Structure 1
Amino acid sequence: MTIPRLLAFFILMISCNLYFSQDVTIKDDKVLLNGKQILKTEKISLAQYSFFSMKNDDEILLYKYMDNETPSYVSDDYFILNFLTEKVKVESKDLGKVSNFMNSRKGMEKIIRWLLKERVINQDGELNPDRLAIFKEKYDENLTSRTLR
């Protein structure tokens, strides 16, 4: 590829990424999507967050970070996304999807962007049960049932 074609391709990729990206921020216990509040949130601890529906204040999602009782050994760590109203739990070791260098608020923003991208949560903050089932099939590693205690 010549340099102008490579540059044009690079600019096209960046513009597509910016076009499809959504501005998700968490501020004052509110989840904002492009400035509009779609969910309420509560930070329980550094390793736990709850997300609530705007319609009826139901807790729809509980995020937990599990260190498997081995804080100094991170290779066995995982996270749980518990969709409480749908009674669906997703456990995964893919910490790249949620971690953001110990900044839990930024990590939660990353989770909401991920759920929006996968269409598990729509633009109004409502869960889509059909997309949630697909999300579970794609990402759930079912770690608890495979762990001996």
Structure 2
Amino acid sequence: MKHLIYLTILFLTVTALTAQEIKLKDDVVYSSGIPTFSFTKKAMGNELYVYKLNTKEELFHMLVDNNGTEIKQDDGKKIVFEQQKVSIQSKNFRNRKWDFLISLLLEEKVINPKGDINLENLNRFKAKYDDNDVNKTMR
């Protein structure tokens, strides 16, 4: 019983430390209540562009990828890092909101709250989540 209590406390502590509470409000991305990035929505909310805070320096953008079809089952979301020439397309993100994806990028240390992008972590993220990754289909 004592071990179960310790494990529960450990789990709750680790979860609280790694969880990023992301809110999108008034063109600002808040991470745990702190203004972190700026954003704009385009294409009737189907595209989200994320910038360094209070600038127009684009960090990445995300969009709903409908694959040119009207069928929703094959839709996904795409995350594009223009400067790094990396894009991640995943059907697993289909039902996920923008704030979840930003939180995931922060959690996976692809991007930090200052807007710095870690290319090594970005490539790892791509290998982990991208539906079109050649290495993933070869396994």
Q: TM-score of the superposition, structure 1-length normalised? A: 0.75
For 1:112 and 1:65, locate their aligned partners in 2 and report how far apart those are by CA, in whole Å.
15
* Percent of matched pairs sharing the same residue: 27
State the Cα deviation string for residues 24-54 of structure 1 (Å, max 9, x = none). Answer: 2111000112232221100112321111123
Tell me, which stretches of 5 or more residues in structure 2 are unaligned?
134-139
Which residue, out of 111, 114, 118, partners 1:124?
114
User: Offset at 1:5?
Assistant: 4.5
Aligned ranges 1:1-149 → 2 under 5 Å: 5-6=3-4, 8-44=6-42, 45-54=44-53, 56-71=55-70, 73-95=71-93, 99=96, 107-142=97-132
Contact 1:53 1:126 in 2 (8 A): no
What is the count of residue pairs matched by the alignment?
Answer: 132
For 2:29 and 2:125, locate their aligned partners in 1 and report how far apart those are by CA, in whole Å.
21
Tell me, which stretches of 5 or more residues in structure 1 are unaligned?
100-106, 144-149
User: Offset at 1:55?
Assistant: 7.3
Q: TM-score of the superposition, structure 2-length normalised? A: 0.80
Which residue type is aligned with residue 30 of structure 1? V
For 1:131 and 1:55, locate their aligned partners in 2 and report how far apart those are by CA, in whole Å.
25
